[in-house]
Amino acid sequence: MTRVVVNLDLPGPIISRHVYGHFAEHLGRCIYGGFFVGEDPDVPHAGGIRLDVVEALRELRIPNLRWPGGCFADDYHWRDGVGPKGSRPRQVNSHWGDVVEDNSFGTHEFMHLCELLGAEPYISGNVGSGTVREMSEWVEYLTRADDSPMADLRRRNGRDEPWRVPFFGIGNEAWGCGGHMRAETYAGLARQYATYVREHAGNSVYRIAAGANDDDYDWTDTLMRALTRVEAQGAAPFQALSLHYYTMTGPWEDKGDATDFTEEEWYRALSRAYKIEELLTRHSTVMDRYDPERRVGLVLDEWGTWWNVEPGTHPGFLYQQNTLRDALVASIHFDAFHRHADRLAMANIAQTVNVLQAVLLTDPETGALVRTPTFHVFAMNAGHHDAHALEAHVVDGESAVVDGREVPLVSVSASTTGATALISLTNLHATEGRTVVLDLRGAEIADYEATVLTAAATNAHNTPQDPSAVAPERFDGVRRHARGLEVALPPHCYATVSLRLS
């Protein structure tokens, strides 16, 4: 029997709600057909923004939204996306399907979307093919209050008040689609570009440099060294480094199928999801050498599963289904995020609607909206937002061995607000249930309730015809135990136990 020890009276660092952030790129049907339907009379919208999508995401209280890319960000010229729609220039979206982008969704539409969602904007600037001046003027356009040239232009385009832009990215994947740069070259550019991302009218900006892919620790080391050198002269041009990590079961050419997978592939995917723990630990350790107080943030601004596209869909649009397996990939990531609350400032799932590990899917024919299993994990975890992380020590846990690595079969994390606590439990076993004793110390449990997300099959997923095949349910597998609570987890499930403390 697995035992999990949690000291309820030893609150750790705050889990920023921003680790539950999102990412929306001009890619496939994420913006067009996902968030934005333009003038489509058949779908209720506000200024072209789908209201059912807004309503669903408000249920998740999404804290921030990253836009316009991804790779698209380093091809994007913001001036093409402001002003009268009829006169906006078009451009080729060369990364994603080589399609023509009409720029009908631009800065004003994105900021309107953030207002509707109640989410904070995270804008990715263009370093790869843009200029310092272009980036600087975009920030002025967005945030300046007086009669500066860019603030005037914004007013002529219909917006009087400046917006708040708390997060700004200095390019994207500079080691790849963002310019194929060497780390030293990008580090110099990051310092230069970030200098011109200015704080106007009291808008304070958290500047995020384009960080490493996966386990490229040298990239992190180079950026940290560059940052430290400038800091020694009294200025920190950027406040955080990003990191990108995707979960797939095969090589790039054949990443695995989203719904048709073997038991071996089930475990391989979950074992690869666990790699996030190692990546956060090791990147953070590199950062510790330069920043032992952990003032510089790590921002995982792209994460999630990346499978082969659904048969019959455009290979450049990255549309994939989302099963219970994706939900468990998400819960494993969130557990790791909670353990790294002292360094991880933000994380953004790729991507919110219709692309990669989406939380929402829209049907191109009927327009129907589907909440995916991953959506439900986000919803079940809302209680972790801005709560204090609690250490959860697993005793006598069992593991599987996958590709030579130990994969714990139960993943756990916990947080507290003082009066309440939330415990997350994932049973990775494909076919067997697991009993877990929660050894809860330091507070009395006045009351508890639990929720579970599971289904008969590991590849269960939601469709317009069956939108609730995988949906959270009230969980009655929890009872009091001499040490706290005993939880009978069904096979392949994610569960949360909320406690009221006294």
| 3-class SS shares of the chain: helix, strand, coil, % to 5 | 30, 30, 45
Stretch that binds ligand AHR, among 66-74, 107-115, 153-161, 378-386 (CB under 6 A): 66-74
Stretch that binds ligand AHR, among 63-71, 273-281, 331-339, 471-479 (CB under 6 A): 63-71
Stretch that binds ligand AHR, among 154-162, 350-358, 368-376, 444-452 (CB under 6 A): 350-358
Specify the DSSP class assigned to residue 461: B
Kindly report the CA angle at 175 between 172 and 181, in degrees rounded to 5? 110
183-195 and 217-231 helices, crossing angle to 10°: 40
| Strands 493-501 and 445-453, bridge-based pairing | antiparallel
Judged by CB under 6 A, which of 120, 140, 173, 335 binds ligand AHR?
A: 173
Instruction: Output 117 or 355, the one with its CB closest to ligand AHR.
Output: 355
CB of 172 to ligand AHR, least distance (A): 5
120 makes contact with ligand AHR (CB under 6 A): no
By the 8 A CB rule, do 249 and 320 touch? Answer: no
Q: Strand order in 445-453's β-sheet?
A: 388-390, 410-416, 420-427, 493-501, 445-453, 473-474
CB of 13 to ligand AHR, least distance (A): 28
71 makes contact with ligand AHR (CB under 6 A): yes
* Tokens of residue 439, six digits: 């050894």
CB of 234 to ligand AHR, least distance (A): 32
Torsion angle of the four alpha carbons 343, 346, 347, 351, in this order, in degrees rounded to the nearest 10: -170
209 makes contact with ligand AHR (CB under 6 A): no
The phi and psi torsions of 20 (rounded to 5 degrees) equal -100, 30
By the 8 A CB rule, do 351 and 24 touch? Answer: yes
Map residue 380 onto helix, strand or coil.
helix
Among residues 302, 365, 391, 432, the one annotated as catalytic is 302
70 makes contact with ligand AHR (CB under 6 A): yes
Instruction: Output 71 or 346, the one with its CB closest to ligand AHR.
Output: 71
Cα(229)–Cα(292) distance, integer angstroms: 16
Instruction: Output 71 or 190, the one with its CB closest to ligand AHR.
Output: 71
69 makes contact with ligand AHR (CB under 6 A): yes
Instruction: Output 5 or 248, the one with its CB closest to ligand AHR.
Output: 248
299 makes contact with ligand AHR (CB under 6 A): no
173 catalytically annotated: yes
Cα(58)–Cα(56) distance, integer angstroms: 5
257 makes contact with ligand AHR (CB under 6 A): no
Residue count at the site for ligand AHR (CB under 6 A)? 10
- Say how many C-beta atoms besides its own lie within 10 A of residue 390's C-beta: 23
Instruction: Output 107 or 124, the one with its CB closest to ligand AHR.
Output: 124
25 catalytically annotated: no
Q: Strand order in 484-489's β-sheet?
A: 392-395, 2-7, 434-441, 484-489, 478-481
Instruction: Output 75 or 439, the one with its CB closest to ligand AHR.
Output: 75
350 makes contact with ligand AHR (CB under 6 A): yes
Instruction: Output 286 or 358, the one with its CB closest to ligand AHR.
Output: 358
Judged by CB under 6 A, which of 7, 143, 172, 284 binds ligand AHR?
A: 172
Judged by CB under 6 A, which of 75, 101, 137, 302 binds ligand AHR?
A: 302
Comparing CA positions, the residue from 168, 156, 157, 240 lying closest to residue 197 is 168
CB of 72 to ligand AHR, least distance (A): 6
* Burial group, residue 30, by CB count within 10 angstroms (0-12, 13-18, 19+): buried
CB of 54 to ligand AHR, least distance (A): 22
Interaction residues for ligand AHR, span 10-39 (CB under 6 A)? 25
CB of 356 to ligand AHR, least distance (A): 6
Distances (CA, A) of 144 to 83, 136, 138, 151, 162: 18, 11, 10, 6, 6
Residue nearest to ligand AHR (CB): 70
Comparing CA positions, the residue from 96, 55, 48, 105 lying closest to residue 75 is 96
Q: Give the DSSP letter string of 66-96.
A: EES-SGGGGG--GGGGSS-GGGPPPEEETTT
208 makes contact with ligand AHR (CB under 6 A): no
Instruction: Output 266 or 319, the one with its CB closest to ligand AHR.
Output: 319
CB of 315 to ligand AHR, least distance (A): 13
Interaction residues for ligand AHR, span 215-244 (CB under 6 A)? none
190 makes contact with ligand AHR (CB under 6 A): no
Torsion sign (Cα): 180, 167, 279, 353: negative
CB of 358 to ligand AHR, least distance (A): 11
Among residues 101, 109, 137, 173, the one annotated as catalytic is 173
CB of 255 to ligand AHR, least distance (A): 12
Active site members: 173, 302
Q: Which residues bind ligand AHR (CB under 6 A)?
A: 25, 69-71, 172-173, 302, 350-351, 356
